[in-house]
Amino acid sequence: MSPATPEKRTALFPGTFDPFTIGHESLVRRGLSVMDEVIIAIGVNESKKSYFSLEKRLEMIRKLYSDEPRVRVESYDSLTIDFAKKMGARYILRGIRSVFDFEYEKTIADMNRTISGIETFVLFTEPALTHISSTQVRELLRYGCDVSSFLPEGMELQ
């Protein structure tokens, strides 16, 4: 009897990533320690006013991970669970900075599991990064502040 071939463990990491921060980068790095592949999935959310165009976000993140074959960067305009199924992802990766994030993420994870059977796994943000959010970084950008300390090394915003 031959040993079973383990199924590829793929996680979808959904978000708007406007912009992609060192907090996001940390979650991808740590997600890869338990997954075979992480798909960074940029959701199109018409109700959010983006700072960077979808094309620019795709370009910046793809460039950042150009040497990492276990990371893909895609965009989608559908339910996250439908896109996860389309991509063959059985898991959703999420990060939590605070108890407020936990309540929100738990509700969504429970709904996603009920509807699709897709499991969500949560990584707690590294303590040194809990204060970083894309929303705050966008606000700083709007006022011309240097945000380089909040972005992954080598990420170019221009």
Active centre residues (catalytic): 24, 48, 97, 134
Q: What is the dihedral of CA 28, 34, 39, 44, to 10 degrees?
A: -70
Report helix, strand or coil for 64: helix
> What backbone phi and psi angles, to 5 degrees, belong to 104?
-65, -50
Cα 74 from Cα 53, distance rounded (Å): 14
8 A C-beta contact, residue 20 and residue 137: no
Report helix, strand or coil for 54: helix
8 A C-beta contact, residue 151 and residue 22: yes
8 A C-beta contact, residue 18 and residue 57: yes
